[in-house]
Amino acid sequence: MDLANLIELAETERASRKKFALRCCMAAGCMSLNSGATKAALEQAVRDAGLEQDVEVRGVGCMRLCCQGPLVQADPDGALFEKVEATDAASVVGTIKGGETEVRRGNPDHPFFKHQLPIVLANSGRVDPDRIESYIAEEGYQALHSAMFDMTPKAVVETIVKSGLRGRGGAGYPTGLKWATVAQTPGEKKYIICNADEGDPGAFMDRSVLESDPHAVLEGMAIAAYAVGADQGFIYVRAEYPLAISRLQNAIKQAKKLGLLGSGVFESPFNFNIDLRIGAGAFVCGEETALMASVEGRRGTPRPRPPFPAESGLWECPTLINNVETFANVATIVRKGADWFAGIGTEKSKGTKVFALAGKITNTGLIEVPMGTPLRQIVEEMGGGAPGGTKIKAVQTGGPSGGCIPAEYLDTPVDYESLTKLGSIMGSGGMIVMDETTNMVDVARYFMDFCRDESCGKCIPCRAGTVQMHGLLTRIMDRKATARDLSQLEDLCDMVKHTSLCGLGQTAPNPVISTLRYFRREYEERLKPDPFAPAANGSAVKPTTGTT
Amino acid sequence: MLQHASGDKRFKILDTHMKRHQFRADALIEVLHKAQELFGYLEDGLLIYVAHALKLPPSRVYGVATFYHFFTLKPKGAHTCVVCTGTACYVKGAQGVLSAAEAQAGIKAGETTPDNQVSLLTARCIGACGVAPAVVYDGTVAVRQTPELAVEKVKGWMGHGSR
C-alpha cells in the first residue's frame, strides 16, 4: 500500500456510490430501538421497488438525535426520517421517487444540528464503520501517510502542540506537551494507550465515536505512535460496549490487511500493532495508573504519581495515554493544519467538544460544538429545554467527578476554565439536565453511592471517607441529620479532596461541594434541630462523648 | 499442555484461548472473560485451573476476579434483568423501575431467586442515555422502561419456574 493505492481506493469507493443513499443509524442507541430490522426492511424495500441500481442502503454510525431513533437520512437531499420502523420501509424508499410517507420528518436545519461543528463526528452518520473503504473515501489514512512521509516525528509533535489540543478525557492536560514528554524520554520500547474506559455514568460520546468511526481513532493512534516512537498500542475499552468492541476488532483486522497497521505500515520500517484490552467493570480503571495495572492483568488500583506514565508507564516503559476523543482529533489536525484547529474555540480551549445530552431535556443525543459555546445555547436552543414545560434547575457535567451548574449560570461559555471556576469540570462530556423535580441532595447522594461502590480501597481517605459521606447524606435525606452533621460533611469533603491518592477520591466530593454551594437551602431544609446546640441564653449544653 | 481431568470440552476451548495469549500473566483478565463466557461464572476450581495454567498464585487470580464487577463467582439465574443506574436513567426514574422489579422478584439487586430463574442486577451506565431509562433483559436492551413494564417482564419469567 502506498499513497497512490490509497487514493485509488478512495476514488474507486467514491465512484461506486449510487445516485441515492439511505443512511440508517447502526449505533447502539438506535440498535436498541431495533434499527437492524429497519435496515433489513429498507434493503428489501429497495429490491422490491427494483431500485438496486440507484439506491444504496448504508449502515452508518450515530446520527446524534438519539431520542428520535431509529434514524434514517437520505442522500443527496438530506431528508431526515425519525422513528423509522421496519413497516415504514416501503414508504420511505418510495419518497426517493417522489412518494409520500407518514413517517415523521426531522428538521436537519433545527438548531440541534445547525449549531454543531463536527470534527470528531465528521464521519459519524456518514461512513459505514464496518468498511475501511468507506473511511478511506473520506481521505482516511492520508494524514497518517503525510505524517510519516512528509513530516519528522518532531514536526508531528510540534503540530499537535501548536494546535492547542487538550486532553478530552476530562482534565484538559495539553496533548502536545504529553506527546513531547514521551517522545523525549529515552527508551527502547514505548507504548500508546487509548483510554476507552468511558466510566462516567451518563456519558456515551466515546462509545459513539468508536462505534461510528473506529478508523479515526486507529489513525490518530498510529500518528501518535510515529510521533513518539512507539510500536505497540492498546485500546482499553469497557466490556459494557460489545458493539464498539466488535467494530474495533473488525477495523483493526481490515487496517492490518491493507498494510495500514501492523508490521511495515505503508511499506516502511515503521511497525505499529494495536491490541484490545477489555475492561471488567471498574470505574477506577479510567484513572491512568489504574488502567495500566489493568492492562497488565492486575487489580486496577492506582499508584502515586510521579513517575508519570510518560516516563514510566506500562511495564515501566514510557507510555502515552490519551482519550478516544483526543485521538479522534489528531488525523484532522494533521490534515488541515494546526492553525486551522487553533482558530476554533476560545483562547485557552481550542477546537470542539462532543457532549452527550441526556436527562430531562427534549432532544437527547450527541452534539459537537466549538469550545466556548454558551451552556444556554446547548441546553435551550439545541436541547429544546426541559420537556413538558418544566423549568431547568441545573446541568450536571463531569459525572461523579464534576458538579451541578445552576440555571442562573447558563450563560457561561463551555470551556475548561469557566466550568472549573463554577466548581464543576468539563469532564469527558456527559451533560445531564435536571429540572425542578430533581432533589439535589439525592443527586449528591447518588454520586456518592457511586464513588463509595467504585472506590478501589487502596487509600483510606477515599475508602472510608466516601462511606462516611454517603452515610451523612443518607441521614440528611431521611431528615435525621443536624447542623453538626452538615458541618462534618463539609469537613470530610475537604479532607477526602485533599488527601486521596488518585482522581477518583480527589474529585468524589465535588458533587456535594457544588450542590452545597448552589443549593444549600435544600440541605438545610432537611435538617432537624440539634439537641446539643447552644441554648438561647448562650450556655452551651455539656458535650457528651460519642456524638460524632 | 495442562489437561483438565473432567474431559469437559469447555476447558479445551479455554486452553486454546490461553495458548493464543502464550499463557502470559498479563492476559489474566482476557482469560477470565473467556472462562466466564464459557462457564457462566467463575467457580473456585476454575480459578485454580487458570492460576496453574498462567503460573500465577491463586491469590492473585482470586484477587483480580473479585476486584472487577464484571466477574461473578456465583451462578446466574436462567434469566437476567440488568437495570441501568447511570445518571440519565437515574434522573428519568430508574430507581422506581429497580424497586418494582425487586418487589416482584422478591430479591434485592445482585441476587438470584431461590428457584434460579431470575437474576436481578444493576449496571453503571450502558450508554443508552438518549433513550433512558434502559433495562437489559437477557442481553437485549429495552428502552424507556417503566416500573409496570419491568414487573410484567419479571412476572413472565417467574411463571416458568417451579412456583
Contacts of B96 in chain A (CB under 8 A): none
Whether residue A541 has pLDDT greater than 60: no
* Selected residue of A85, A299, A361, A379 to mutate for chain B interface (largest B Cβ count, 10 A): A299
Helix (H, G, I), strand (E, B) or coil at A372: coil
- What's the per-residue H, E or C state across A446-505? HHHHHHHHHCCCCCHHHHHHHHHHHHHHHHHHCCCCCHHHHHHHHHHHHHHHHHCCCHHH
Whether residue A215 has pLDDT greater than 90: yes
Cα–Cα distance, B141 to A76 (Å, whole number): 32
Range of lowest pLDDT (A489-498, B31-40, B107-116):
B107-116
- Per the domain annotation, does B95 fall within a domain? yes
Q: What band does A536 get if pLDDT is binned at 50, 70 and 90?
A: low
A430 touching chain B per CB within 8 A: yes
Cα–Cα distance, A141 to A266 (Å, whole number): 10
Mean local confidence (pLDDT), A54-65: 95
Cα–Cα distance, A189 to A78 (Å, whole number): 48
Whether residue A40 has pLDDT greater than 70: yes
Q: What band does B163 get if pLDDT is binned at 50, 70 and 90?
A: very low
Contacts of B64 in chain A (CB under 8 A): 297-299
> CATH number for the domain including B20?
1.10.10
Q: Looking at the structure, do residues B27 and B63 belong to the same domain, yes or no?
A: yes
Cell of B25: 500473566
Q: Looking at the structure, do residues B144 and B88 belong to the same domain, yes or no?
A: yes
Contacts of A295 in chain B (CB under 8 A): 26
Cα–Cα distance, B60 to B47 (Å, whole number): 10
> Cβ–Cβ of B129/A204 closer than 8 Å?
yes
- Residue B12 one-letter amino acid: K
- Per the domain annotation, does B72 fall within a domain? no
- Per the domain annotation, does B2 fall within a domain? no
Res B124: pLDDT = 81
Cα–Cα distance, A404 to A136 (Å, whole number): 41
Residue of B6 and B117 predicted with greater confidence: B117
Range of lowest pLDDT (A145-154, A205-214, B111-120):
B111-120
- Per the domain annotation, does B4 fall within a domain? no
For A304-364, where are the E strands, in sequence order? 319-323, 352-359
- For residue A529, the 8-state DSSP code is P
Q: What band does A187 get if pLDDT is binned at 50, 70 and 90?
A: very high
Q: Looking at the structure, do residues B87 and B148 belong to the same domain, yes or no?
A: yes
Cell of A11: 476514488
> Cβ–Cβ of B129/A200 closer than 8 Å?
no
The candidate with the shortest Cα–Cα distance to A42, out of A1, A101, A2, is A101
- Per the domain annotation, does B85 fall within a domain? yes
Select from 3.20.20.10, 3.40.50.1000, 3.40.30.10, 3.90.650.10 the CATH code of A17-113: 3.40.30.10
Burial code of A142-175, b = ≥16 C-beta within 10 A, e = fewer?
A: bbbbbbbeebebeebbbbbbbbbbbbbbbbbebb
- Do β-strands A80-81 and A403-406 pair in parallel, antiparallel, or remain unpaired? unpaired
CA dihedral of A274, A280, A284, A290, whole degrees rounded to 10: -50
Domain A440-524 has CATH 1.20.1440.230: yes
* Spatial CB neighbours of A201, under 8 Å, sequence gap ≥ 6: A399, A400, A430, A450, B85, B86, B87, B88, B90, B124, B125
Res A547: pLDDT = 46
Mean local confidence (pLDDT), A381-401: 93
Answer whether A383's CB lies under 8 Å from A391's CB.
Answer: no
Contacts of B68 in chain A (CB under 8 A): 279-282, 300
Mean local confidence (pLDDT), B51-61: 97
| Helices A214-228 and A153-163, axial angle in degrees (round to 10) | 120
Res B162: pLDDT = 42
pTM to 2 decimals?
0.94
Cell of A329: 482529533
> Cβ–Cβ of B124/A281 closer than 8 Å?
yes
Cα–Cα distance, A242 to A234 (Å, whole number): 17
A21 sits in the region (left: phi over 0; alpha: psi -120 to 50; else beta) called beta
Q: Looking at the structure, do residues B62 and B84 belong to the same domain, yes or no?
A: no
Q: Looking at the structure, do residues B40 and B98 belong to the same domain, yes or no?
A: no
Helix (H, G, I), strand (E, B) or coil at A394: strand
> Cβ–Cβ of B64/A298 closer than 8 Å?
yes
Contacts of A66 in chain B (CB under 8 A): 129-131
> Cβ–Cβ of A201/B26 closer than 8 Å?
no
Q: Looking at the structure, do residues B93 and B62 belong to the same domain, yes or no?
A: no
A281 touching chain B per CB within 8 A: yes
CATH number of A139-342: 3.40.50.11540
- Residue A355 one-letter amino acid: F
On the 0-12 / 13-18 / 19+ scale of CB atoms within 10 A, B72 is middle
Residue of B126 and B149 predicted with greater confidence: B149
Q: How many domains does chain B have?
A: 2
Whether residue A35 has pLDDT greater than 70: yes
Q: Looking at the structure, do residues B32 and B97 belong to the same domain, yes or no?
A: no
The per-residue pLDDT for range A75-104, each reduced to its tens digit, is 999 999 999 999 999 999 999 988 899 999
The candidate with the shortest Cα–Cα distance to A330, out of A227, A230, A221, is A221
For residue B91, the chain A residue with the least C-alpha distance is A359
The candidate with the shortest Cα–Cα distance to A207, out of A364, A356, A383, A425, is A356
CB atoms within 10 A of CB A18: 15
Residue of B158 and A155 predicted with greater confidence: A155
* Fold annotation for A353-435: Ubiquitin-like (UB roll) (3.10.20)
Range of lowest pLDDT (A112-116, A170-174, A515-519):
A170-174
CA dihedral of A210, A213, A219, A225, whole degrees rounded to 10: -10
* Selected residue of A35, A63, A204 to mutate for chain B interface (largest B Cβ count, 10 A): A204
Cell of A429: 462530556
A33 touching chain B per CB within 8 A: yes
Residues 470-499 of A with CB under 8 A from B: none
* Selected residue of B129, B131, B136, B137 to mutate for chain A interface (largest A Cβ count, 10 A): B129
Mean pLDDT computed over every residue of chain A: 94
Q: Looking at the structure, do residues B99 and B147 belong to the same domain, yes or no?
A: yes
- Per the domain annotation, does B121 fall within a domain? yes
Res A548: pLDDT = 46
Answer whether B73's CB lies under 8 Å from B112's CB.
Answer: no
- According to DSSP, the residues that pair with A272 across neighbouring strands are A262
Q: Looking at the structure, do residues B109 and B155 belong to the same domain, yes or no?
A: yes
* Phi, psi dihedral angles at A74 (to 5 degrees): -100, 145
Whether residue A184 has pLDDT greater than 60: yes
Residues 118-157 of A with CB under 8 A from B: none
**CB half-sphere exposure, B29, CA atoms < 13 A:** 29
For residue B60, the chain A residue with the least C-alpha distance is A298
Mean local confidence (pLDDT), A479-489: 96
The candidate with the shortest Cα–Cα distance to B42, out of B14, B78, B17, B19, is B14
Q: What band does A538 get if pLDDT is binned at 50, 70 and 90?
A: low
The per-residue pLDDT for range A275-330, each reduced to its tens digit, is 999 999 899 999 999 999 999 999 999 999 999 999 999 999 999 999 999 999 99
Q: Looking at the structure, do residues B99 and B120 belong to the same domain, yes or no?
A: yes
CB atoms within 10 A of CB A264: 12
Whether residue A543 has pLDDT greater than 60: no
Contacts of A31 in chain B (CB under 8 A): 141
> CATH number for the domain including B90?
3.40.30.10
Q: What band does B91 get if pLDDT is binned at 50, 70 and 90?
A: confident
- Per the domain annotation, does B114 fall within a domain? yes
- Residue A233 one-letter amino acid: G
Containing structural domain, residue B26: 9-67
Whether residue B57 has pLDDT greater than 90: yes
Percent of chain A with pLDDT over 70: 97
Interface predicted TM-score (ipTM): 0.89
Cell of A422: 463554577
Residue B162, min C-alpha distance to chain A (Å): 32
Whether residue B161 has pLDDT greater than 70: no
The candidate with the shortest Cα–Cα distance to B92, out of B57, B130, B54, B61, is B130
The candidate with the shortest Cα–Cα distance to A125, out of A368, A336, A369, A322, is A368
Mean local confidence (pLDDT), A203-223: 96
Q: What band does A456 get if pLDDT is binned at 50, 70 and 90?
A: very high
The candidate with the shortest Cα–Cα distance to B93, out of B147, B151, B152, B149, is B147
Contacts of A198 in chain B (CB under 8 A): 127
Cα–Cα distance, A220 to A335 (Å, whole number): 11
The per-residue pLDDT for range B69-84, each reduced to its tens digit, is 999 998 989 999 999 9
Domain chopping of chain A, boundaries: 17-113, 139-342, 353-435, 440-524
- Per the domain annotation, does B103 fall within a domain? yes
CB atoms within 10 A of CB A452: 20
Cα–Cα distance, A62 to B107 (Å, whole number): 37
- For residue A374, the 8-state DSSP code is B
- Residue A298 one-letter amino acid: R
Cell of A433: 439536565
Residues 441-460 of A with CB under 8 A from B: 446-447, 450, 454, 456
Res A537: pLDDT = 59
